[in-house]
Amino acid sequence: MTNSYDAIVIGGGVVGAATAFHLKSLGCERVLLIERDQTCSGGTAKSCAIIRTHYSIPSNTRLAQHSLGVFENFRDSLGHDDANCGWVHTGYLILAPEGAAATSLAQNLAMQASAGAETRRVDAHEAKALNPLLALDDVAAIGYEPRSGFADPSQTTYSYVRAGLELGVELLRNRAVLGLMRDGDRVTGVETYGGDISADLVVAAMGPWSPRLGPWLDIDIPIEISRHTVVTFGADEPYENSFPIVKDLTTANKMYIRPTTAKGALVGTGDFGSPLDNPENMEVPTDMDFISGLAEQLAHRMPIYGKGEFTGTWNGPYDITPDWNPILGPVEAAPGLHLACGFSGHGFKLAPAVGEMVAKSALGMTPDINISAYRLERFADGELLVGAYGPGSIS
């Protein structure tokens, strides 16, 4: 290792790994990916890795659509024979109740189509043909994405890391960043317990550790951290991987249901979760009331799980901004620093596009998808990205 680079990426999750890969592939000469622990040891490892394009903000749909194409053609996209994201093609159904949500769904389907997403409205009969486990008596509107699915977060991240290393990215693990080097306002590198490392530009892709940037810069990084619990259930009838993922807007917590690799049901929520002061304090005793509540919701939507069984659970972090959308791009008050954080539950599905667009922006290129709306300064300027479905991870 040297102590000077053209670019440093902080954070070895999927966003950081993708950004480092793209910086190098776009011609940045000396790129360092630095990780406080092991690669894919933070929020990425706990992701449910659902990949869908349904959003109510057009730029989110464009980023998701770009990422979907990468996941579908992962080996060719990375140009690496061993690249594997664990892609599973399922399709995706989004269910809305009578009222505003159904109206928003119809409007969003039209917007998504104009943004290039393959999506359409289906009726209950077609939805049940696609996923015969469903009960839909209380559903007023249904959207369908035939190309969606899920992937493996660890395989995806490791593939980006390996592809980057083959291009010449350097990787420094088990090295926590303690602060940012400054020359006046300008960020000129990172401070670590092993010494300072300088760089022309720094990209912070720190996931739930991103709030630490605020004190380092003496500016506000408006991110809250929460704990999200994911639960898995089994039943006599398998949830086949060919059955679409389900997003249920009839529930207050915006429940989602995904098949597991063992053909059970993986269930989580798109709400705030539980506030968390420290992302390292992720593990807590199992909340059986929460699990029972999810089990009831699941059995209502998929009656076969009325006689199902609880099979497992884990917790993962969300880094949530005031508008539930990420912070991307340069920081006006700290030249030389670029952000890729605050993903609010969107991170994995957007990571391929975000890594490429943030890398292009940091190198002074014009990104194929404009990310200026995601700038940090939007919060102070009152230009929040507000989704049609209200607060939650389906903006």
212-250 confidence digits (pLDDT tens): 999 999 999 999 999 999 999 999 999 999 999 999 999
Query: What string of H, E and C letters represents the secondary structure of 200-237?
Result: EEEEECCHHHHHHHHHHHCCCCCCEEEEEEEEEEECCC
Nearest to 146, CA basis, from 93, 95, 106: 93
CA distance 185 to 7: 18
Select 91-146+224-320's CATH number: 3.30.9.10, 2.60.40.10, 3.30.1490.20, 3.40.50.1100: 3.30.9.10
**What residue spans define the domains of the chain?**
4-49+153-222+323-381, 91-146+224-320
Tell me if domain 4-49+153-222+323-381 and domain 91-146+224-320 are identical in fold.
Answer: no
User: Which residues, in sequence order, are bridge partners of residue 327?
Assistant: 341
pLDDT of residue 365: 98
Alpha helices in 99-152 (DSSP H): 100-114, 124-130
Q: Under CATH, domain 4-49+153-222+323-381 is a member of which superfamily? A: FAD/NAD(P)-binding domain (3.50.50.60)
| pTM for this predicted structure | 0.96
Q: What is the mean pLDDT of each run of 10 residues along the chain (395 residues)?
A: 90 98 98 96 95 93 96 96 96 95 90 88 97 97 97 98 98 97 97 96 97 93 95 96 97 96 94 90 84 97 95 94 97 98 96 98 98 97 90 77
pLDDT of residue 1: 58
Distance of CA 113 to the CA centre of its chain: 22
CA distance 331 to 326: 13
111-146 confidence digits (pLDDT tens): 888 888 899 999 999 999 999 999 999 999 999 999
